[in-house]
């Protein structure tokens, strides 16, 4: 569908960008993006995807808004306390951009429902806060042949990468999977939770915004993707570093032994 006059005005700053323009904005309008988690990472991610004009945003979260969330989960507010985060976030998107369709999924993503949920969308953005969900999401994206933008937060640090493990790279070798980067989850209790260790609220905003930019990049197709590269952010030193990683032929998804 073409852009309406209201959309042309709304997205004017995108339309004058040579690398986005009208064709790129139409790709955003046609896109279906599934966001895992409406918390610290998901809150700014959802806001910027909605503002950018993503046509359909699915939101998966089974948690409810609590007062301690509001230090960083900026899509929610005091009147939302006790509400399901997916529904609160969906209502916020409606206020921000009525051209976006939101599909809230008030459920926990598990290995049992991951492929069904992920199969309905074009691209997945994972802002979950636990390793069980991250592995379930990344495995399902591989089998459903969906690109994945995934990020994680520490106290004063964050990381971000893009996975297109269902495709081959320019050299003909398979792109790396999430399990090529992190072969197995750490032992239970080895990494403290956000509630135990704390997290700098503004850092969640930085990383969630970077996730949104990477999702938009993957849809529109400008610049250099983070496929095979891990972006690491150190908020203490205000330093951004990128390290490359490659396909591991021993990985259980696309390895040579599969």
On average, the pLDDT of the chain sits at 96
Q: Is the pLDDT of residue 242 over 90?
A: yes
- Give dist(CA 2, CA 15) in Å, integer: 13
Q: Give the tens place of pLDDT for each residue, 6-57.
A: 999 999 999 999 999 999 999 999 999 999 999 999 999 999 999 999 999 9
Model confidence at 257, pLDDT cuts 50, 70, 90, reads confident
Q: How far apart are CA 180 and CA 157, in angstroms?
A: 21
* Distance separating alpha carbons of residues 223 and 73, to the nearest angstrom: 29
Which residue, 229, 179, 239, is CA-closest to 206?
A: 239
Q: Does the pLDDT of residue 166 top 90, yes or no?
A: yes
Q: Please give the structure tokens belonging to residue 95.
A: 């206020």
For the annotated catalytic residues, the residue numbers are 194
| The pLDDT value given to residue 256 | 83
pTM (whole model) above 0.75: yes
């Amino acid at each position: 569908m073409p852009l309406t006059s209201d959309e042309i005005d709304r997205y004017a700053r995108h339309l004058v960008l040579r690398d986005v323009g009208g064709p790129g904005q139409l790709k955003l309008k046609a896109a279906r993006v599934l966001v895992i988690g409406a918390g610290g990472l998901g809150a700014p991610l959802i806001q910027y995807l909605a503002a950018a004009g993503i046509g359909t945003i699915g939101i998966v979260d089974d948690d409810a808004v609590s007062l301690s969330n509001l230090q960083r989960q900026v899509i929610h507010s005091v009147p939302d306390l006790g509400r399901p985060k997916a529904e609160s976030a969906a209502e916020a998107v409606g206020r921000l951009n009525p051209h976006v369709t939101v599909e809230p999924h008030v459920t926990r993503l598990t290995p049992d429902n991951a492929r069904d949920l992920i199969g309905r969308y074009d691209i997945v953005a994972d802002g979950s806060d636990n390793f069980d969900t991250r592995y379930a999401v990344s495995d399902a994206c591989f089998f459903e042949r969906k690109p994945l933008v995934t990020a994680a937060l520490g106290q004063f640090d964050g990381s971000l990468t893009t996975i297109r493990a269902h495709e081959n790279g320019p050299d003909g070798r398979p792109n790396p999977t999430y399990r090529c980067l992190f072969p197995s989850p750490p032992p239970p209790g080895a990494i403290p939770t956000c509630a135990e260790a704390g997290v700098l609220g503004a850092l969640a905003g930085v990383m969630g915004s970077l996730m949104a930019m990477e999702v938009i990049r993957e849809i529109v197709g400008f610049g250099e993707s983070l496929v095979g590269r891990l972006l690491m952010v150190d908020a203490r030193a205000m330093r951004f570093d990128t390290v490359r990683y490659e396909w591991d032929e021993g990985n259980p998804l696309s390895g040579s032994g599969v």
